[in-house]
Amino acid sequence: MSAVQTWLDDFAGRQQQLPGATLPWLHAMRKRAIDRFAAEGWPSQREEDWRHTSLAPLQQATFNTQVVSASAQQIADQVKALRGEENGHWLVFVDGRYEPSLGQLGSLPAGVRLGTLADALSHEADLVQEVFGNETDGSSVAALNLALTCDGAYLHLARGVALEESVNIVFVASGDQIAAFPRNLYVAESGAHGNVVEHYVGRDGNVSLTNTVSRMHVAADARLVHTRLQQEAHESFHLAAIDVEQDGKSYFASNSVSLGARIARHDIATRFDGERAENLLNGVYFADGQRHVDHHTLIGHAQPNCVSNELYRGILADRGRGVFRGRILVAPGADGTDAIQRNDSLLLSKLARSDSRPELEIYAEDVRCTHGATVGQLSDESLFYLMARGLDKTHARNVLVYAFVLEGLSRIEPEGVRRRASNAVRALMPGGSMLGELA
């Protein structure tokens, strides 16, 4: 059982070997984090934030954090297939542990530090501490990540540095019943530019747990694009938290492409700490079988004249279920806020289900906040039109399904990442790889 006690024991056994164990602040924080998890346990559906998502199947599964070495060759092949012809910088973690032999850091411009969290903790712990977060952030799931994390990616872009090529981080869940707790930290100092792609892949049939946290600080005038492609095994559990702090005039984009896992949960929280900052939150998700995908977003408009734009589009087939809850919190004094939120779901079966809930809390004046949610099915008229032009039913359906998420996919940048995301979505459809580009 993935009972709470399992993890308390795991922590007790490993706490002295975890990275940063000799750092008093971190050691103490990890203890407080595991205490929080011990007190709260896994989130239950009695909590408002988890009303639509039950972690009961996760609690019935068994996990450990031991390394079971899957075939190294298989993993290498999987990473190679993912990379394709793409350049850029690649870091690979297998079951939560860094595998330098599978990656390629490439040459980095001056002012860019890219590596692992464990490494950063031993070289620049003070800088790490600033963005590391603490045990009170988010849910008890995020606290468990803090307590048990043994590694993750670390990117620091110094003032004014533009990193042209994408930073790709691959998390491979290679073993059955293995849990991994990656924690990634990305900092873009003033005026810096970068883009980071997190890939989450697994192996068919494996029941794995990925509990991941990515924390970012986007300083004044900086620009950071964060994309995650989640394609884990359909039996696995994927729990993700993304926390972003933005200073004045910064730009941040989050692309969440979530296609795999039995239960995929994403908590995405951004906060504007300065004026005239902007963000784009973009999601494309798919659940079939009895799978479940959940996005919870929280946009903290704490400062005036910031712009946020959310678009989440989901395709739900069979008994698949999609959940979206979008909170927008406009603090007193955050006048001139401009917030747009949309969630559209396409149900491909009568048993598929979508729950969508916008929550706007506005304590400021002169604010523009709009939200909208739609749930629809494939239009018979549109199918007929395409088939009356000679397209067979599968092709016609694929065209309409893919077109539905295209608006979300088209927002993903840069182009290479968008292409990979689009290919991943098309690969979900029978014959979808033959579909080509619709635009």
Q: How far is residue 171's CA from residue 211's CA, in Å, rounded to a whole number?
A: 11
Q: Does 204 bind another protein (CB under 8 A)?
A: no
Q: Which of 382, 413, 414, 418 binds another protein (CB under 8 A)?
A: 382
Q: How far is residue 287's CA from residue 259's CA, in Å, rounded to a whole number?
A: 7
Q: Does 393 bind another protein (CB under 8 A)?
A: yes
Q: Which of 111, 406, 413, 419 binds another protein (CB under 8 A)?
A: 406
SS3 category, 99: coil
Q: Which is nearer to another protein, 118 or 386 (CB)?
A: 386
* Tokens linked to 303: 């400062």
Q: Which of 19, 384, 415, 419 binds another protein (CB under 8 A)?
A: 384
Q: Which is nearer to another protein, 12 or 438 (CB)?
A: 438
Q: Which of 8, 61, 375, 400 binds another protein (CB under 8 A)?
A: 400
Q: Which is nearer to another protein, 190 or 382 (CB)?
A: 382
Span from 19-27, 44-52, 316-324, 398-406 in contact with another protein (CB under 8 A): 398-406
Radius of gyration from C-alpha coordinates of the chain: 21
Least distance to another protein from the beta carbon of 79, Å?
A: 32
Least distance to another protein from the beta carbon of 438, Å?
A: 5
Span from 17-25, 241-249, 317-325, 388-396 in contact with another protein (CB under 8 A): 388-396
For residues 359, 363, 364 and 366, what is the CA-based torsion angle, rounded to 10 degrees? 50
Rounded to 5 degrees, what are φ and ψ at 41?
70, -165
Q: Which is nearer to another protein, 242 or 435 (CB)?
A: 435
Strand partners, 308: 279, 339
Sign of the dihedral defined by the CA atoms of residues 112, 117, 121, 127, in that order:
positive
Q: How far is residue 313's CA from residue 193's CA, in Å, rounded to a whole number?
A: 27
Least distance to another protein from the beta carbon of 260, Å?
A: 24
* Tokens linked to 357: 């809930």
Least distance to another protein from the beta carbon of 358, Å?
A: 22
Q: Which is nearer to another protein, 48 or 415 (CB)?
A: 415
What one-letter code names the amino acid at 325?
R
Q: Does 311 bind another protein (CB under 8 A)?
A: no
Q: Does 257 bind another protein (CB under 8 A)?
A: no
Q: Which is nearer to another protein, 303 or 343 (CB)?
A: 343
Q: Does 378 bind another protein (CB under 8 A)?
A: no
Q: Does 392 bind another protein (CB under 8 A)?
A: yes
Rounded to 5 degrees, what are φ and ψ at 156?
-130, 115
Q: By C-alpha distance, which of 278, 326, 321 is closest to 301?
A: 278
Q: Which is nearer to another protein, 48 or 437 (CB)?
A: 437
CB 402 within 8 A of CB 313: no
CB 304 within 8 A of CB 336: yes
Least distance to another protein from the beta carbon of 418, Å?
A: 15
Q: Which is nearer to another protein, 366 or 392 (CB)?
A: 392
Residue 189 CB coordination number (10 Å) = 19
Among residue numbers 420 through 439, which ones bind another protein (CB under 8 A)?
A: 436-439
* Tokens linked to 247: 């200073």
Q: Does 399 bind another protein (CB under 8 A)?
A: yes
Q: Which of 215, 266, 395, 397 binds another protein (CB under 8 A)?
A: 395
Q: Which is nearer to another protein, 137 or 344 (CB)?
A: 344
177: left (phi over 0), alpha (psi -120 to 50) or beta: left
Q: Which of 31, 387, 418, 419 binds another protein (CB under 8 A)?
A: 387
Least distance to another protein from the beta carbon of 150, Å?
A: 43
Q: How far is residue 27's CA from residue 29's CA, in Å, rounded to a whole number?
A: 5
C-alpha 169, offset from chain centre: 12
Span from 87-95, 161-169, 280-288, 378-386 in contact with another protein (CB under 8 A): 378-386
**H-helix or E-strand spanning residue 314:** strand 307-316
Q: Does 391 bind another protein (CB under 8 A)?
A: yes
Contacts of 409 (CB under 8 A, 6+ apart): 257, 284, 418, 421, 422, 425
Residue 49 CB coordination number (10 Å) = 17
Q: How far is residue 281's CA from residue 310's CA, in Å, rounded to a whole number?
A: 5
Q: Does 388 bind another protein (CB under 8 A)?
A: yes
Q: How far is residue 316's CA from residue 345's CA, in Å, rounded to a whole number?
A: 7
Least distance to another protein from the beta carbon of 375, Å?
A: 16
Q: Which is nearer to another protein, 86 or 407 (CB)?
A: 407
Q: Which is nearer to another protein, 108 or 387 (CB)?
A: 387
Residues that bind another protein (CB under 8 A): 379-382, 384-393, 395, 399-400, 402-404, 406-407, 436-439
